[in-house]
Structure 1
Amino acid sequence: MASHYIFTSESVSAGHPDKLCDQISDALVGHYLRQDPFASVVAECAVSTGILFVSVKVAADAVVDIPNTAREIILDVGYDQGAFNGRTCTVMTSLSEMNGLRPRFDETTLDEEGLSQLTAQENVTLFGYACMHTPDLAPLPLWCAHRLMRQYDGVRRKTLRYLAPDAKCQVGIAFSGRMPRRIDSITLLASQQDSRVSLATLHTDLIEQVIRPAFADQPFAPDERTRIQINPEGAVFEGGPALHAGLTGRKNGVDTYGGFSRQSSAALSGKDPTRIDRIGAYAARHAAKNIVAAGLAEQCEVQLSYSIGIAEPVSVRVETYGTGRLDDDTLTDRVARHFDFRPGGIIRRLRLRQLATMCHGDLYRRLAVYGHVGRSDLDLPWEATDEAEALQSWIS
């Protein structure tokens, strides 16, 4: 790897069409699971000008008002006027039962043999990553980008009411010797609802109320050499689904590591806790984060591969990029023996049935924006470093 380089990551606002779809899909999953913790549900959305399509496949002892849930989220995000409006848009739904297609089980009552009979339902390869860039042990480029988008969404709702919900940003970090040194560039694209606001005013407002506050009291902040671009191609009015379509699960990089690490081969949002393509990514992150937290490596990627009909991952691999205190083969062997990566084992160990009741029942929707990992604002079980002390014994 080059000793000096720039790495960029992108984040998007809650009003980006893809993230709007993710929020609706995950909110529906949460609604079903709050009523029936053992529900099986897959929810996917597509959105464009004036129309939202929602597909839900479910096996649950629950009833959810799908169109009303979708409209509530659209309006809450800020689409209450213009060509895409939560009150007037068409909401089309496809609801189908999948009773009998997926086993219904309570992993807390199963013995080892029972857990081994709960096999993966998908062929999938998943990645978890952690590094020492930030207190959350997440890559700095994406961590910075998420801070900008969180700040944007906050001021749009409170002070800069002329801003539209749709925005995205890219942050470039200068690296030297594997470690981040400074913020090299920031590109922020924002849409607006009021054409009377000039581009110059937009530029000033976003620097003063979004960019500077986002990095206040942080170890990394823009400096005099940081290149800042705001709407470099001119003003964007309204944005959102009226400008570009959205789909559930299209922002995997935003949801995970911003491209700094490999990302999993499947989307995360819109799936219940029995789906290995979602919870396996969480389990891999949990293992990687605890390895770094234990001081076993400065950065770590954990790869898990699953095959349909098999409970254990068919492949476990640990890569520390030369920063490990043990060699990667040894770490791989110990991680595979220490962590239970079977689907039922992951659900039980990370208490994933309880997620739907967290954050006043709104956790699934909150997961859908600003990333599924590196979230110090949410008490996520896969973000806990509860195994770090045990792992330290490997080097004692």
Structure 2
Amino acid sequence: MKKDFMFTSESVTPGHPDKLCDRISDAIVDRLLQQDPYARVITECAVSTGIVFLAARFEPNANVDFTNIARKVIAEVGYDRPDFNSKTCSILTSLEELPPDKIHNFDEKKLSDAQIEEIPVKNQVTVFGFACNQTPALIPLPIWFAHKLARQLDIARRDKILPYLAPDGKTQVGVEYKNRQPTRIHSMTIIASQNNEKQPNLDQLRHDIQEAVIQPALNDEAIHPDENTRIFVNPDGLVIGGGPSLHSGLTGRKNAIDTYGEYSKHSGAALSGKDPIRIDRIGAYAARYAAKNVVAANLADECEVQLSYTIGLSRPVSVEVETFGTGKVDEQEIIARLKDNFDFRLAGIIRHFNLRFLPSLTKGGFYQKLAAYGHVGRMDLELPWEKTDKAEVLKG
């Protein structure tokens, strides 16, 4: 196992076409669950020049205007150019009613343990959760830095610090490791789009990004760019407009950005656009919860939890742990403690995290807030799977 290496992760702003699709999909999930916490919905979205395509399967027990939700999200993200904006873009929908599902029409708050055991998953998936001690949020430093830069890039646009910026942006950060601990920033890349092709010019843009994005984003970090850090701002030149008119978008195409920046494994299944009955979404949250508590309990400096589910069963068919040589106790012992203290069953996860009711309890919706800057490692949101309330019991 390598101890000295460099690792690079990327992030994007909410205006990136893939993230725009994720947010539209999760805004629809929020709306259905606000009307009926037990609603079922699977939504996917695609965008391109002047067009949005929505494909949704849902139970017809709620009154939801899919088109209006999409237009509202597009406006909130900031697209107002003639080639793509909330008022004139065409929206095509393919809506299909799901048949009633008696098995998953349950009130998890009233279930006994035996009843929870009888509720199976309907998806076959292997999900991963990861945590490490590199950042306060217990996620890897490269994706932490990439998210901070992407967030600051969007703040510079929204707060009109750099009023010429367009919503679409990308960031990338490479970090050097010694003995599996981050030591310096090797390189950074920021791709910013702008509305006016004449102003600013490339030199001015690069100066502005350094002053208004890079410096404030990393000012409070222990590791800063040094004289040898390679910093690239729009290395291929100016990007005019950006967004769906430049490159298409699709729900679920940024799984690495949603999780651990490829530093750890992640499932191939999309996280956005699915109600809490989908184990391929909430199982990833449960795995993260377990991994984070292992690291918080100081059982390991790095921990990856793997949960494998098969159709028709309530529990994962396997629970595996990898600590990458950093474990303070045996991995099999960690697995045993996880099985004793965590409920990885579908209905148990829904109940423990209150997943069906969070959209109604959270101002502005809940799931759509996960569509940018990650579904894990968030310190700006109170996510139930980010708590470390199981650390003490895991210590044994």
Normalising TM by the smaller chain, what interval? over 0.9
Q: 1:284 aligns with which of 287, 292, 295?
A: 287
CA separation in 2, counterparts of 1:58 and 1:353? Answer: 15
Structure 1 match to 2:365: 362
Q: 2:192 aligns with which of 187, 190, 193?
A: 190
Structure 2 match to 1:163: 165
Moved over 3 A (4+): none
Measured against aligned partners, the alpha-carbon deviations of 1:249-297 in whole angstroms (never above 9, x if no partner) come to 0000000000000011311000011110000000000000000001111
Q: CA deviation at 1:359?
A: 3.5
User: Structure 1 residues 358, 204: CA separation in 2 closer, same or farther (over 3 Å shift)?
Assistant: farther
Q: CA deviation at 1:168?
A: 0.5
Q: CA deviation at 1:70?
A: 0.4
Unmatched 5+ residue regions in structure 1? none
CA separation in 1, counterparts of 2:345 and 2:301? Answer: 27
Measured against aligned partners, the alpha-carbon deviations of 1:119-156 in whole angstroms (never above 9, x if no partner) come to 11100000000000001001110000000011011111
Do structure 1's residue 59 and structure 2's residue 59 form an aligned pair? Answer: yes
Pairwise mapping of residues 38-57 of structure 1 onto structure 2 (< 5 A)? Answer: 38-57=38-57
- Aligned residues of 2:164 and 2:194 also touching (Cα < 8 A): yes
- Aligned residues of 1:11 and 1:370 also touching (Cα < 8 A): yes
Amino acid at match of 1:191: S
- Aligned residues of 2:26 and 2:368 also touching (Cα < 8 A): yes
CA separation in 2, counterparts of 1:3 and 1:311? Answer: 38
- Where 2:100 maps in the other structure, the secondary structure is coil
Percent of residue pairs bearing the same amino acid type: 55
Amino acid at match of 1:92: L
Do structure 1's residue 252 and structure 2's residue 255 form an aligned pair? Answer: yes
Q: TM-score by structure 2 length?
A: 0.97
Q: CA deviation at 1:333?
A: 2.2
- Aligned residues of 2:341 and 2:393 also touching (Cα < 8 A): no
Do structure 1's residue 173 and structure 2's residue 137 form an aligned pair? Answer: no
- Aligned residues of 1:38 and 1:60 also touching (Cα < 8 A): no
Moved more, 316-325 or 352-361: 352-361
- Where 1:136 maps in the other structure, the secondary structure is coil
Q: How many residues align?
A: 393
Q: 1:270 aligns with which of 273, 284, 291?
A: 273
Q: CA deviation at 1:389?
A: 1.2
CA separation in 2, counterparts of 1:325 and 1:349? Answer: 28
- Aligned residues of 2:130 and 2:303 also touching (Cα < 8 A): yes
CA separation in 1, counterparts of 2:115 and 2:361? Answer: 28
Q: CA deviation at 1:77?
A: 0.8
Q: CA deviation at 1:387?
A: 0.4
- Aligned residues of 1:52 and 1:90 also touching (Cα < 8 A): yes
Q: CA deviation at 1:358?
A: 4.1
| C-alpha RMSD of matched pairs (Å) | 1.1
Amino acid at match of 1:133: Q
CA separation in 2, counterparts of 1:10 and 1:60? Answer: 38
- Where 1:290 maps in the other structure, the secondary structure is helix
CA separation in 1, counterparts of 2:155 and 2:339? Answer: 42
Do structure 1's residue 124 and structure 2's residue 125 form an aligned pair? Answer: yes
Moved more, 183-192 or 355-364: 355-364
Structure 2 match to 1:68: 68
Structure 1 match to 2:88: 88
- Where 1:353 maps in the other structure, the secondary structure is coil
Q: TM-score by structure 1 length?
A: 0.97
- Where 1:300 maps in the other structure, the secondary structure is strand
Unmatched 5+ residue regions in structure 2? none
Do structure 1's residue 299 and structure 2's residue 302 form an aligned pair? Answer: yes
